[in-house]
Amino acid sequence: MRRFTWFNATALTFGFAFLYLPMLILISYSFNESRLVTVWAGFSTKWYGELLQNEQFLKAAWVTLKVAFWSSTLATVLGTMAAYIMVRAGRFRGRGLFSGMIYAPLVMPEVITGLSLLLFFIAIGLDRGVLTIVLAHTTFAMCYVSVVVTSRLVSFDRSLEEAALDLGCTPFDAFRSVTLPIILPAVISGWLLAFTLSLDDLVIASFTSGPSSTTLPIKIFSAVRLGVTPEINALSTLMIGIVTVGVIAASLVSRASTIKARADEQRANQT
Amino acid sequence: MNWRGRLLILLPYTWLLLFFLVPFGIVLKISLSDIALAIPPYTPTMKDGLWTMLSGLDLENYAFIGAGAVFAAFLGVAALALLFRVVFPRVRRAMSFDARHGLFDSVAAALIALAVALVNVALVAAVLSVLFPALSGFIDIPDFLYFAAYLSSLKIAVISTFLTLLIGYPIAYGMARAAAHWRPTLLMLVILPFWTSFLIRVYAWMGILSTEGYLNQLLLQIGVISEPLTILNTNIAVYIGIVYTYLPFMVLPIYASLEKMDDSLVEAAEDLGCTALSAFWLVTAPLSKPGVIAGCFLVFIPTLGEFVIPSLLGGSNTVMIGKVLWEEFFNNRDWPVASAVAVILLLILIVPIVLFQRNQQAQREVDG
């Protein structure tokens, strides 16, 4: 029997207070009337209104969403392919280098990745803009996607795929109608991970963006360097809200799909 | 393998080669170039012809950032590790703080190790400057800023990893002890901050820690302090920021190893006369070691190259290598030196990364 002691309860209380209080303070002060961020002067939503009128932030938000969408989609395709190769292709020439290149970006400091990509884009004469950020984000996000998908592929019963091949499927058909539906939850969570990584990224985007393609984190960073402002509080609250809703929805969906899978399994066992 | 299989491999492979490996080669090349008032701001370039380009490369930037000292220290540590493995198994055993050896033995062993390390570094430096006269200027440090930045990054990374462990372990322990139906919720509460923007979480602390921030207001009102504390723009703020943002990376692996632990082991220890505390030290702590090691690496490795936290929460006297690289690139526009700093940072990181990989590999083999 595991005993839950007072010590455990205190550790959890303080731990979660430490994790959540700063964000809760930030959220509550985004509804502050006063421009002085540390003095409470009554409830107001006026900073949200001002935020929606700030053209620069809206433009940056649009660029960020575009970049996040394209890079996470590309990263999901490439990362799933990479995971499939790592699990299924067996031995091939250059496999060691390939797995090294997949794991290295996960631990590489962002300043190095950003610097090297920028120098590369300049060397090949590619103008910095939305395209270069998409390329940069795809490169590091595909590695995260491939890690997520690999863990699912490893636990997957290979005989299902072989059965499809025996029954006359082409390898591509077998992948589409057997493998893909089974690994789909991992592919979707890989996409979500890639999307949030891209939304979050400041360092790599700063190196690879051009003057016309400022993303939201770059905008926030340059505003924040001058100090705390109520508009940024409002913007942060919006972003925290969107992510929270997204994560809770994703976990509900995945819980529903596991319950359904378990029910299907039971039905299959009964018949 | 058919052509389809080949094509499948070719696409991600080429992508990674093109956008990961080739860019790194370019960094290496530029780190050997000279700064120039041109676009791009370095020389020589490919336009001068391949041979002129290759012969124009030199190690000047590395000498400038004191890479020789880092290199010497590195070889010294490597020699030390070798010595420990091969020559001094006894010292190694004494260093392991085993209960069978006294405290005196451990302290003596630590002192010996320190002396050996110093001698090693000096020896390697001397040997290097004799063997390669060109390197002798390399050993002394022309600009102390860079060497100080390596050292202070290491110091900040080590201290904050330790603090994160100190705070993260009780949380993971509490989570593993909680009732089974609570655990998924607790797990999600730890993961949720990881999904919210890093920048926003660091920013949240700026309002709390500033001179007229919420923390100072609270403390002044309670009457604990009479003058507001200066926390923002000091190293303390950097430690708080790192512990806060990297806490999930520490909690998750420790929780994973504690959760699958067999509880009857602790009960057996207590039946055999252990107090709760000694059962924890003798049973639970050793069993959670893989998780602790993984968590420490997951915090230590990214902290070393951290940029956002020191630049928002730290002051002008907080030097970390990631920040130096950024300033060298964006403010001083010295691309060759920035590239050399990047190469050295990577060199420093290789050791913890390789150790981390080995730890993970060993763990996978144990789990079967």
Domain B143-368 belongs to what architecture? Orthogonal Bundle (1.10)
| The dihedral formed by the CA atoms of A240, A242, A248 and A253, expressed in degrees to the nearest 10 | -160
Task: Evaluate whether residue A161 is within a structural domain.
Answer: yes
Q: Which residue has the tokens 């421009």?
A: A35
Task: Evaluate whether residue A8 is within a structural domain.
Answer: no
C-beta pairs of B278-284 under 8 Å, 24+ apart in sequence: B284/B173, B284/B258
Q: Do residue B204 and residue A102 have CB atoms under 8 angstroms apart?
A: no
Average pLDDT, integer, range B287-308? 90
CATH number at residue A161: 1.10.3720.10
Tokens of A185: 């939850």
Tokens of B184: 């998924």
B163 contacts chain A (CB < 8 A): no
Neighbours of B96 (CB within 10 A): 11
Chain A nearest-CA distance from B6, in A, is: 10
Q: Are B176 and B258 in contact (CB under 8 A)?
A: yes
CA dist A11 and B350 (Å) reads 35
Cβ-Cβ contacts under 8 Å between A and B: the total is 227
- A23 contacts in B (CB within 8 Å)? 193, 196, 200-201, 204
Q: Are B189 and B221 in contact (CB under 8 A)?
A: no
pLDDT digits (tens, 9 = 90+) for A110-123: 899 999 999 999 88
Task: Evaluate whether residue A100 is within a structural domain.
Answer: yes
Of A107, A115, A119, the CB nearest to B325: A115
pLDDT digits (tens, 9 = 90+) for B339-359: 888 888 888 888 788 878 777
Q: Are B16 and B28 in contact (CB under 8 A)?
A: no
CA dist B171 and B96 (Å) reads 27
Task: Evaluate whether residue A186 is within a structural domain.
Answer: yes
Of A101, A109, A233, the CB nearest to B305: A109
Average pLDDT, integer, range B177-194? 88
Neighbours of B107 (CB within 10 A): 11
pLDDT band at A105 (very low <50, low <70, confident <90, very high): confident
CA dist A11 and B301 (Å) reads 26
CA dist B267 and B111 (Å) reads 39
Domain ranges of chain B: 23-58, 67-140, 143-368
Tokens of A145: 């996607």
CA dist B240 and B164 (Å) reads 9
pLDDT digits (tens, 9 = 90+) for A50-87: 888 888 889 999 999 999 999 999 999 999 999 988 88
pLDDT at B296: 92
Q: From the candidates B200, B301, B324, which should be mutated to test the interface with A, based on the most A CB atoms within 10 A? A: B200
C-beta pairs of A2-7 under 8 Å, 24+ apart in sequence: A2/B176, A2/B177, A2/B263, A3/B177, A4/B174, A4/B177, A4/B178, A4/B179, A5/B177, A7/B170, A7/B174
Tokens of B290: 């893989």
- B193 contacts in A (CB within 8 Å)? 19-20, 23
Average pLDDT, integer, range B123-134? 61
pLDDT digits (tens, 9 = 90+) for B37-73: 666 777 666 666 666 666 667 666 776 666 666 666 6
Task: Tally the domains of chain A.
Answer: 1
- A29 contacts in B (CB within 8 Å)? 207
pLDDT at B136: 46
pLDDT at A131 over 50: yes
Could you tell me which residues come within 8 angstroms of residue A181 by beta carbon, excluding any fewer than 6 positions away? none
Task: Evaluate whether residue A199 is within a structural domain.
Answer: yes
Of A116, A142, A221, the CB nearest to B27: A116
Q: Are A140 and A113 in contact (CB under 8 A)?
A: yes
Average pLDDT, integer, range A84-106? 82
pLDDT at B109 over 70: no
Task: Evaluate whether residue A187 is within a structural domain.
Answer: yes
A259 contacts chain B (CB < 8 A): no
pLDDT band at A22 (very low <50, low <70, confident <90, very high): very high
Q: Which residue has the tokens 């959760």?
A: B259
Residue A43 is which amino acid?
F
Tokens of B104: 């005196």
Task: Evaluate whether residue A219 is within a structural domain.
Answer: no
Which SS3 state, helix, strand or coil, does residue B81 take?
Answer: helix
Task: Evaluate whether residue A263 is within a structural domain.
Answer: no
Average pLDDT, integer, range B164-185? 91
Q: A25-34, A232-241, B159-168 — which one is most confidently predicted on average?
A: B159-168
Query: Which residue would you say has higher pLDDT here, B3 or B154?
Result: B154
User: Among residues of chain B, what percentage have pLDDT more than 90?
Assistant: 20
Widest distance between CA atoms in chain B: 79
Note down the domain range covering A96. Answer: 67-208
pLDDT digits (tens, 9 = 90+) for B250-268: 999 999 999 888 888 888 8
pLDDT at B323 over 80: yes
A175 contacts chain B (CB < 8 A): no
- A79 contacts in B (CB within 8 Å)? 12
- A115 contacts in B (CB within 8 Å)? 27, 325, 329, 338-339, 342
| Rounded (to 5) percent helix, strand, coil in chain B | 75, 0, 20
Give the CA radius of gyration of chain B.
Answer: 25
Nearest CA in chain B to A245: B192
- B4 contacts in A (CB within 8 Å)? 171-172
Q: Give me the phi and psi of A43, to 5 degrees please.
A: -80, 140
A172 contacts chain B (CB < 8 A): yes
Kind and range of the H or E run holding B35: strand B34-35
Q: Are B88 and B47 in contact (CB under 8 A)?
A: no
Q: What is the pTM of this model?
A: 0.84
Query: Which residue would you say has higher pLDDT here, B11 or A4?
Result: B11
DSSP state of B368: -
Q: Is the dihedral of CA B98, B102, B107, B111 positive or negative?
A: negative
B11 contacts chain A (CB < 8 A): yes
Tokens of A146: 């491939």
A194 contacts chain B (CB < 8 A): no
Tokens of B83: 């010595």
Provide the angle, in degrees to the nearest 10, between the axes of the packed helices B22-31 and B335-367: 140
Average pLDDT, integer, range B242-247? 95
DSSP string, chain A: -----HHHHHHHHHHHHHHHHHHHHHHHHTTBSSSSTTS---B--HHHHHHHH-HHHHHHHHHHHHHHHHHHHHHHHHHHHHHHHHHHS-S-TTHHHHHHHHHHHHHS-HHHHHHHHHHHHHHTTPPPSHHHHHHHHHHHHHHHHHHHHHHHHHTS-HHHHHHHHHTT--HHHHIIIIIHHHHHHHHHHHHHHHHHHHHH--HHHHHH--TT---HHHHHHHHHTT---HHHHHHHHHHHHHHHHHHHHHHHHHHHHHHHHHHHHHHHHH-
B335 contacts chain A (CB < 8 A): yes
